[in-house]
Amino acid sequence: METAMTYGSKRRINQRKMTLIIFVAAVTFLVAVAVGGIFCGEAAQETDFSRKNMMPGFQYLFGTDWLGRDMFVRTIKGLSMSILIGVCAASVSAFVALVLGIAAATLGRKVDAVITWFIDLIMGIPHMLLLILICVALGKGLTGVIVGVALTHWTSLARVIRAEVMQLKESQYIKIAEKLGHSKFKIAVKHMLPHLVPQFLVGLILLFPHAILHESSITFLGFGLSNEQPAIGIILSESMKYLVTGKWWLALFPGAMLVLTVVLFDVAGESLRKIIDPASAQE
């Protein structure tokens, strides 16, 4: 019996160690790409017609395009832009979700009804349509993309936080704090917020892949970043014209790296959830 319990404990410890390793590896890769792209802005725009349309090889890992630009450097720069935009937009979106989620659950039925109605309204509008409308209304560009993504990705997390706060309200210590005359603001900040931090962090990280994909999508469709910027959406959009001529590498490698980035953000979020959530020790 004791041996079985020892084995089970070791197995759980090994699972958590593996989860932590996966989380650190995913975050390290994403940070390296984001930081690396900051320092290769000029190289991503550099043209050299003597090396145009070169296939992938040791010298140019992802090949070159019709202007002789290094596709590996352009891909890293594009991913870096997408990651930084995703981080900014997802952070704003998660903060909005946290504030509205707490407000809906603590400020009475009327406030809850208004916020819930607004959440349902936003979720009822086709996501990409709303995102494009906001970007176009704000003049496209970097600001339009960040604001558009931020204003369209908070609803699901707000619902989760609202449900979590509704459960916390039934806790004994919350009811005692209310009887002691503590204000709703003090109860929310001092007693509820610490319990919401793990849920908030996991939700924040899981917002990143959605933000990155939608930023790339609207840029690909021509409603996001300008053509002068080496964004992943721009790279994929431009490469479509050259696929019929056999230049497959122009779309394959940037697309694969975009998918890898999104998957790693998802893996990081799930790993963080398992690390933070005590119940995940049994998974």
How many Å apart are CA 120 and CA 132, to the nearest integer? 19
Answer whether residue 216 is part of any domain: yes
How many Å apart are CA 75 and CA 209, to the nearest integer? 17
Instruction: List helix spans (H) across the chain.
Output: 2-38, 41-45, 71-106, 109-124, 127-137, 141-152, 155-169, 172-179, 184-186, 193-220, 232-239, 249-276
Q: What is residue 278's predicted lDDT score, i.e. its pLDDT?
A: 53
Answer whether residue 99 is part of any domain: yes
Structure tokens at 150: 């931020």
Answer whether residue 3 is part of any domain: no
Answer whether residue 259 is part of any domain: yes
Answer whether residue 222 is part of any domain: yes
Which pLDDT tens digit goes with each residue over 11-56?
Answer: 555 677 888 888 888 888 888 888 888 888 777 888 888 888 888 8
Task: Please give the share of the chain, as a percent, with pLDDT higher than 90.
Answer: 1
**Mean pLDDT for the stretch of residues 169-187:** 76
Which pLDDT tens digit goes with each residue over 51-69?
Answer: 888 888 888 888 888 888 8
Q: What is residue 7's predicted lDDT score, i.e. its pLDDT?
A: 47
How many Å apart are CA 271 and CA 206, to the nearest integer? 11
Answer whether residue 1 is part of any domain: no
Total structural domains in the chain? 1
> Which structural domain, as residue segments, surrounds residue 211?
14-278
Task: Please give the share of the chain, as a percent, with pLDDT higher than 70.
Answer: 93
- CATH number of the domain within which 134 lies: 1.10.3720.10
pLDDT tier, 6 (very low <50, low <70, confident <90, very high otherwise): low
Q: What is residue 281's predicted lDDT score, i.e. its pLDDT?
A: 45
Q: What is residue 13's predicted lDDT score, i.e. its pLDDT?
A: 57
Higher pLDDT, 188 or 256: 256
Answer whether residue 217 is part of any domain: yes
- CB 109: neighbour CB atoms within 10 A? 8
Q: What is the pTM of this model?
A: 0.80
Whether 199 shows a pLDDT value over 50: the answer reads yes
